[in-house]
Structure 1
Amino acid sequence: MAGTEPTHRPILRALSEAHGEPITGEALGRKLGISRTAVWKQVQKLRSMGYPIESLGKKGYRLAGPVDLLSRQELAPRLTTRWLGHHLEHHQSVGSTNERAMELARAGAPNGTVVGAEAQTQGRGRLQRSWSSPMGKGIYVSLVLRPELPPRRGPEMTLLAALALAESIRDAWNLDARIKWPNDLLLSDRKAAGILTEMQSESERIQFLVVGTGINVFQTREDLGGDLLYPATSLALELDAAMSGAYARPPHLTRAKVLAGYLNRLETLYEGWVQEGLAPYLKRLKERSAVLGRYVRVQTGETTVVGRVTDIAPDGALVLEENRGGQRALYVGDILRVRPAEQAAGPEGP
């Protein structure tokens, strides 16, 4: 990024490199060639961004704990992308990252713009369901994408984003992430993430897509509750179970690392998708599917469809062999229940 580095960044670097030891405002001022008052103002700015900086009187300032924010400072060193995430708007709290991204997209925000927040007050998923977004525990992020494609291709983006997230989590933490068509990510058959894609288009072309992604990272079982349509989990809970220990924050797991891995993978998949469509990724989508070969109950509009999933079509449709006979391709729907193939479905389905 061109231009002079903002003053708060070297202050943050100096505090990070001190590993919890205090540094006086005078020492920071000398290092940066600014006054102690200017140092104080920059420390206040860092605090407003969510950095846990303590004032210790004459001893100065110190970073009071580990930093795990979705800010540009934490994300940029981990990104390998050429364009995705290079325009980043970071909020401590926002109503909905999707709503904010839609505003920016309508105002001309460039392809690859990312809106992230430490918390949402009006987070939502598909069908206007609320998405719990507690401060600092999950990833709440929305992407502005501008593919030169016809509107019928827009829904494919949800599956592509799900694939990018599933593969990045599998590769980074060796967790068996699975896609519950079309927009949920499961770990141990529990929901760990959801994707909401919204589109604005003309008759012949997509103007923009907003891809909202909510990922449970550090939520505990108490945070997740038990009144959800689908049982929920988090990356930390699944890593803890894999390590067979008491719940603890795995030292290698950070939200910035999760988000950067997702964006890095998604940029590559997106570029291929724009050129070649979804077909080149079908094999990988099927390998990561949580429903292929299983019996499902799907709500699509006011209709409920029950049957065994036999395929994912080249355009992303879910292909079912219905209980009542015949095949059906679904382009939209909400999977309400999944049953293993070995458990035969009755007349009313799984």
Structure 2
Amino acid sequence: MKKPSLTLFLTLLPTFGLPLASNSFAVSCGDTITTQESLTEDLSCETNPALTINGPSGGLNLNGFTVTCIEPLHEGIYLTGLAASLFNGVIDNCNDSIALTEDGVHFVSDIEINNLVGVGVRIESNSNFVTGIVIPFNGTQYAIGIETANPASLNQITGNFLEFPGFSGIYIEGRSNTVTGNEILNPGDFGIALDSDGGNNLILLNTIISDSKARIFNTLNGDGDVGISVSSDSNLISQNSISNSTTGIRINNSDSNTVSSNEADNNIDYGIVIEGTSAEFNNILSNTANDNGIFDLYSPDDPNCTSSNNWIGNNSTSNDPNCLD
């Protein structure tokens, strides 16, 4: 099992002004934590949510222990108020394992989420930092690894490892969020999806790889998977690597996106696609798309390359229409 280190968290901890957990009282299921605490044993909780951490003074070091939801439709750990923190442990069998709510600026680091039922990390507030989340291959069909709900903005989702979240690895509905340096294996429908309720997001340096597990899942459900799916406007998608998905990168009826310097090689059908007659002013620049099953570059609704979308300087060999560059 790949396990991110605590180096990044320990480096940033002074910035957030959070002391290491003091464990001034024994944490129990159903508690609302308002000081810096540390678990001393595993918790199996019937309460809903299992725990609440309230900032700015509340923080919890799971200390390597596990918080389990006995009822799988119960919620895991809520971070409320301003600048609450959670790190270093395991959350098991919860619906939404972690929820970042209210004023935001919460910090979540180095959490393994097992037996995911709904959403691993649900972000409902602004300016949160989520890193080192590990979701191994055990999610349900409709699970989402990390989700920002509309209008959550200015969140940073970086350095997470998500394997086979059933619906989407990372699902973005808000604006001006940064998704960088994540590794997503075997996404069900989407590796990273940018919903139409959002825009102006930065998607940078992520790796999305599918293999036989995802392929069998998608075949049984009659669907293909898309590495990065863009349905909102004015996003920057750059320096990502997508392979063995059905489609590498897809822009769907959205405008003014820049897709630059990505690698979309060895996908089952298409490398990079623009779909929809209303998609305008998108820039597809200096990408590599080779050895894809049907076409490397594909724009089915612009057969004569007369739209306002720009395809410039891409490295590809099989394009439709042929005028795509």
Larger radius of gyration: 1
Of structures 1 and 2, the one with the larger relative CO (CA 8 A, separation 6+) is 1
Q: Same fold (TM over 0.5)?
A: no
Q: Report the TM-score, using the length of structure 1 for normalisation.
A: 0.30
Relative to total residues, which structure has the larger strand share, 1 or 2? Answer: 2
Q: Report the TM-score, using the length of structure 2 for normalisation.
A: 0.32
